Amino acid sequence: MRQVQKINRGRPTIGVTGPDKGGEAAWLFTALSVWLAGGKPVRITPARPRTADGLQALIVGGGADVDPSTYEQAHVIEDYLQQTIRQPHTNIFKRIGRFARWLYFPALFFVRKLLSRKPQFGLDRDRDHLELQLIDQAAKKDLPLMGICRGAQLLNVYFRGTLYKSINTFYTEAPNPASIFPVKEVSIEAGSKLGSVLGVQRLEVNALHNQAVKEPGEGIAIVAREPNQVVQGIEHLSHDYMVGVQWHPEYLPQFAVHRRLFKALVQQAREVSQQIEERDMQEALAHPNPTLLQKLEAQTEKE
């Protein structure tokens, strides 16, 4: 008889999904964010689809890393450093602190470049299968869940929502910015779960995506948008904590407001009464959902 793992109220186990190839930088920074928030991160990919520990919460991560040279320009780093140096009325200690904070971005840029692989396009059916089944298990057990970028889109698709295949048409005056730096400002709906967790109604975020939520799925509410109405945040109205953000908070751990997303997830995980056990994983992997997979495949082929 298989032993059931006890729920860990102190440092709950948080599953973090990703691809088999690539995504090392995303995993490292997400794991760091989970650990700082008080959780125990466990990496889950199609090649390692289960863990002996029960999962008390789930993070559905973004897609495989894209070579930073395709979306980042070297002058951006200099721009940020110059903005820090030119502050005329800041004492020396604050200047040093701000300079050190902005040095984080060049460091992150090179870490991602070092760990990135050749971009891979198309549908990753094994990963889609795994993540859709994990979302299904989380929904059935009412476990805390956060979708990041691609994960937020997949969460919406699971609840029968739709996606924009490309959001470039929303950016008529300037190209769609793509950067690990905070380059977009989003407005967050007052009274939403996401707004309550973040504690702000306006937030600067990074952007590494070319798709976004179009029609929200069943029970899904759109709670954050850019000024041009591109969706940046969603949440499920019937679950205690099931949110999706289009940006990458794991790459912004130096900002307390972005760390709050992970702190809220871990806190919710401490209070769950059920978890995803190894037998749940086995059952999920043995029962694919062809309807959802066919829908994802059709969307990909039309891009």
Q: Is there a catalytic annotation at residue 149?
A: yes
Choosing from 129, 236, 248, 258, the catalytic residue is 248
Choosing from 24, 226, 250, 277, the catalytic residue is 250
* 148 HSE (CA, 13 A, CB side): 30
Taking CB atoms within 8 Å and a gap of at least 24, the contacts of 257-264 are: 257/198, 257/199, 257/200, 257/203, 259/33, 259/36, 259/37, 260/197, 260/198, 260/199, 261/146, 261/197, 261/198, 262/33, 262/34, 262/36, 262/37, 262/39, 262/146, 263/37, 263/38, 264/197
Choosing from 72, 129, 131, 149, the catalytic residue is 149
Q: What is the SS3 assignment for 138?
A: helix
Phi-psi region of 124 (alpha: psi -120 to 50; beta: other; left: phi over 0): beta
Q: Is there a catalytic annotation at residue 204?
A: no
Q: Is there a catalytic annotation at residue 239?
A: no
Would you please indicate which residues are annotated as catalytic (active-site) residues?
A: 149, 248, 250
